[in-house]
Structure 1
Amino acid sequence: MTITSPDARPAAPRPAGGITQGVRDSLVIARRNLIRMVRIPEVVIFGLIQPVMFVVLFSYVFGGSIAVGGNTSPAAYREFLMAGIFAQTVTFATAGAGAGIADDMHKGLIDRFRSLPMARGAVLTGRTLADLVQTALTVVVLAVVALIVGWRTHENIGKVLAGFALLLLLGYAFSWIGALIGLSVRTPEAATSGGLIWLFPLTFISNAFVPSENMPSFLRHIAEWNPFSATVQAARELFGNLPEGYPVPEAWPMQHPVIASVLWSLLIIVVFRTLAVRKYRSATA
């Protein structure tokens, strides 16, 4: 006869291994988060308001006040501006990603996921994929608003789509930074603050809103090697939005912005996904 100790507890199910299982689990988590977004539409709506305000304010308040390649016309600045607004929008989604993960941690949802036989990185991957879908929706709406205020592209559809793909890749890379922040703080409010406080200098010390040539020397070098600037420059080239006579800086990322943008984004994904998954395992152990 077998005697079972009253203190014996069933072992937690082990996650199934393999890439296929990890992809399947990630898609399940992504679907769960997308359904949640649909059921709480105000989150998406409020996420659309800020970038639309930036487009309108920068276009009409600063348009004509900033010279781009010697051209001070509002139309020239509007075309110069839009790649920066797009890039700012996809990176500011970082704060939402961090707050969402911090909220799941705070409510104990992550611990419940951990009790299931699923790939360890699937929870974070699924969350970042769902955030990528929301970011793509925001970019589509923002592009429509930009077209209404006069923004135009001057390249073929393939290059334009490639420009948007680079922007979304940057947004996905930054969402892993948000995931790490969300796992490192105790409350969603702290995750939101922590997700935004470093984004403002990153986006403003760049070529997003003004040409980097107008900056002091030490800031200009930072801006030209900023991964954010590389994606903005790449998008401008692919959209055909570089004004005539605009001096391209000599820094390597500005001379080869498409390659630099891809390399920067992939590096950020590899580094911060590794750190986030490690933090997830230790935080829920």
Structure 2
Amino acid sequence: MNRLTWALADGWTVTRREFTHWSANPGQLIAGLLFPVMVLLLFAYLLGGGIEVPGGDYREFLMPGMFAMTMVFGLEGTFTAIGNDVTKGVTDRFRSLPMASSAVVSGRAAADMLTTVLSLAVLIVCGLAIGWSADNGPGNALAAVGLLLWLRFALLWMGIWLGLKIRNPEAVMALQILVWPIGFLSNALTSPATMPGWLGAIADWNPLSSTAAAARELFGNPGWPNDSWAAAHALELALAWPLLITAVFAPLSVRAYRNLSR
């Protein structure tokens, strides 16, 4: 219990380090919070008018997809922050200190999850302002938020592993660019049925699509017809995909952290 207490305390110290960065450079935090809002307004007011959805209200359809995309875009911030710490020697400095070896990873995870909660809250407020609503009761709405955070938690481990393994700034930049196609290759903004067959199948099985479809169902917002097995079982896949991602990348992240000095 004593070791666990110190591990939690050390992890919280690393988390507080991120809070210090926010207070010293609030512009970066504000820009990160406003970016999903700008994407939301772009699709809600500029591009969404040409997209037909069941029920006829594209904004009702759009919001759960934007929530899910924000969870995926958070992956970029995780591996960039981890990669910068590794490249600049900050992680090695932490490893030389008398602190729990898990603190760097757990502290980063806690800071990113708190950032995600704040970003999601801002996006929900903006959604309410443009006419979106959760029409299936507060319990189902909370369950939808839980599914979104569950996806983000799983992607945290992927981001930590990528940040520990890829230290080249050019490679990090390439990864940042690749996050966008992963987000758009889904049902978040449009129907996979409008894509070529093989591409639509990939979009259907994208973990982002499962979470977005399940969130639409729980929020009571319109979605696409369940034309595929993946679409018909979105809720089950929204639970299973993050579990699989965590089971794969959490051990890989721990191993990569332990092997940093080798």
Q: Give the TM-score normalised by structure 1.
A: 0.84
Q: Report matched runs for 1:59-138 at 5 Å.
A: 59-69=44-54, 71=55, 73=56, 76-138=57-119
Distance 1:228 1:17 in 2: 39
Corresponding residue number in structure 1 for 2:232: 255
Equivalent residue number for residue 177 of structure 1: 158
Determine if the alignment matches structure 1 residue 237 to structure 2 residue 237. no
CA RMSD, Structure 1 to Structure 2 (Å)? 2.1
1:95–1:194 CA contact under 8 A, matched in 2 = no
Once the 2 structures are TM-superposed, how far is the Cα of residue 121 of structure 1 from its aligned partner? 2.9
* Structure 2 runs not aligned, ≥5 long: none
Alpha-carbon distance, 1:26 to partner:
2.4
Q: Deviations along 1:195-241, whole A, 9 cap, x unmatched? A: 42332222122101101222221112111111111100111011111
Identity of aligned residues (%): 42
Partner in structure 2 of residue 43 of structure 1:
28
Q: For this pair of structures, how many residues does the alignment match? A: 262
Residue 203 of structure 2 is matched in structure 1 by: 223
In 2, Cα distance between the equivalents of 1:38 and 1:235? 33
CA 17–200 in structure 1, closer or farther in 2 if over 3 Å, else same: farther
Pairwise CA distance, 1:55? 1.0
Query: Aligned pair 1:52/2:37, yes or no?
Result: yes
CA distance in 2: counterparts of 1:127 and 1:35, whole angstroms: 13
Name which one, 1 or 2, has greater alpha-carbon Rg.
1
Equivalent residues of 1:179, 1:276 under 8 A apart: yes
Structure 2 vs 1, CA of residues 95 and 17 (structure 1 numbering), >3 Å: closer, same or farther? farther
- Structure-1 residue corresponding to 2:134: 153
| 1:120 Cα deviation after fit | 2.5
One-letter amino acid of the counterpart of residue 161, structure 1: L
| Matched residue SS, 1:63 | helix
8 Å CA contact retained: 2:53, 2:222: no
- Partner of residue 259, structure 2: 282
Does the Cα contact within 8 Å between 1:224 and 1:249 map onto a contact in 2? no
